[in-house]
Amino acid sequence: MTGTLPTHRPRSAVTPASAAGLRSGPPLAGAGMNAGDQVRVGSPNKRWRLLRRAPGPANAEGAMKTAAHEPVLDGLAPILLRHGCGCAECRDAGSGQRLASITDLPGDVSVTGARTAGNAVEVVFGPDGHRAVFSRAWLDDQRRPPEDDRAEDAKRLWAAGDYAAGLPWQSWPRYLDDARVREDCLAALLRDGFFLLRDVPCQPGTVLSVAGTAGYVRETNYGRLFDVRVEATPANLAFTGLPVAPHTDNPYRDPVPTVQLLHCLASAVDGGDSGLVDGFRAAALLRGADPAAFEILARTPVTFAYADAHAELRATRPMITTDPRGKIREIRFNSRSLQPLRLGREGSPDEAVAFYAAYRAFAETVIRPELMLTFRLAPGDCVVFDNTRILHARTGFAAAGQRHLQGCYADLDGAASALAVLRRARKAAR
């Protein structure tokens, strides 16, 4: 599998004072602090430890520069810095989890002094004299907007023509043996929305092993895994030979399973080709061509429902979910389970007409041929895709032949975690 990994900025943890060499130096003499002043180190809820600065010049040879104002802190609120303190009284050394809640902090936090030593910045807070040490990289990171790897600006949006040279794939044996290959595949899942494995053993249940490399299996009313093949009394159109239009799975769940896997065990039929559509790309095209339609689908909650002899499921969400910045974050699109629009007493017939026009415009965008990546799953192929972004489809096939897939669900947070652990291990091995 080829392609570059998405860029991720490493996050620097709050640097402990010992790592910066600051504990060996005298306590800080910042704004309002003179030789002989006492500095209380720790939490106001703890017993204070008093340190006394020995008399002497603030900038004696070998001492760090001390200043009441450090430009490196510009734009950072004192309460933000105090909340980020990583000292032993604020965070558990073993788990890294915070020990103090917001109500344990003073309500009028201020910075009374700061000094630098190389890449470390020591800060003293008022009104309690608490001290913290931060790396410059950590401070710089706080000025950046929060990263959301689920939103459209963290993705590579694509159309079928982007894969004119062929569908990227990787072999299952190599995927298992090479951590860097697994890293590349999981990065592709988060960036492109899918990856394809070949040479996966055609043994029932193997799809669960694939899912286990990317997090944890999400069990549903269909079980830990499900069979996609023609059934005599199907509870879902997927279990027939009929064509299935582009859709996301299980939009009637909250939360929806965010990763889907389909493993081909047999494919000896005429038809039954698979298709993938980048739903984020389709939604972005709709936004560009018809902003009003996009806005309607992003703000109008609709209900998806499913029922069989053992389950009755429903969820009400917009077809297009955006984050607070207006960036596309999730698609729920499934004409089979979408229920008639209910606007309530405050709605009007005109609003219903506008919604259905917007729905039609999105549906027409989704089925544009240039957006559909079409391929045939052969025995041993397993496709893994983001069910909140990638719509999948299937052409019809003759019921007389044999087409058997096994599928299961997992979640993106598990895949992102597995990717982060792989990257962490690779960096540690350098």
pLDDT tens per residue across span 105-140: 999 999 999 999 999 999 999 999 999 999 999 999
Single out the residue of 339, 203, 178 nearest to residue 266, CA to CA. Answer: 203
| pLDDT for res 245 | 95
**87 pLDDT higher than 50:** yes
- How do residues 329-346 score in pLDDT, each as one tens digit? 999 999 999 999 999 888
Q: Find the range with the poorest average confidence among 17-31, 336-350, 410-424.
A: 17-31
Positive or negative, the Cα torsion across 321, 327, 329, 332? positive
CB 6 within 8 A of CB 148: no
Give the residue, 228 or 248, on which the prediction is more confident: 248
| pLDDT for res 70 | 79
Q: Find the range with the poorest average confidence among 9-23, 194-208, 415-429.
A: 9-23
Q: Could you confirm whether domain 152-425 is CATH 3.40.190.10?
A: no
- Amino acid identity, position 401: G
Q: Could you confirm whether domain 17-141 is CATH 3.40.50.880?
A: no
Q: The whole model's pTM is what?
A: 0.81
Q: Find the range with the poorest average confidence among 66-80, 314-328, 414-428.
A: 66-80
Spacing of C-alpha 170 from chain mean position: 23
- How do residues 136-186 score in pLDDT, each as one tens digit? 999 999 999 888 999 999 999 999 999 999 999 999 999 999 999 999 999
**DSSP per residue, 3-62:** -PPPP-PPPPPPPPHHHHT-TTSPPP--TT--TT-EEEES-TTS--EEEEPPSS-TT-TT
Single out the residue of 316, 327, 300, 198 nearest to residue 254, CA to CA. Answer: 316
CB 264 within 8 A of CB 405: yes
Average pLDDT along the chain: 85
Q: Where exactly are the structural domains of the chain?
A: 17-141, 152-425
**353 pLDDT higher than 70:** yes
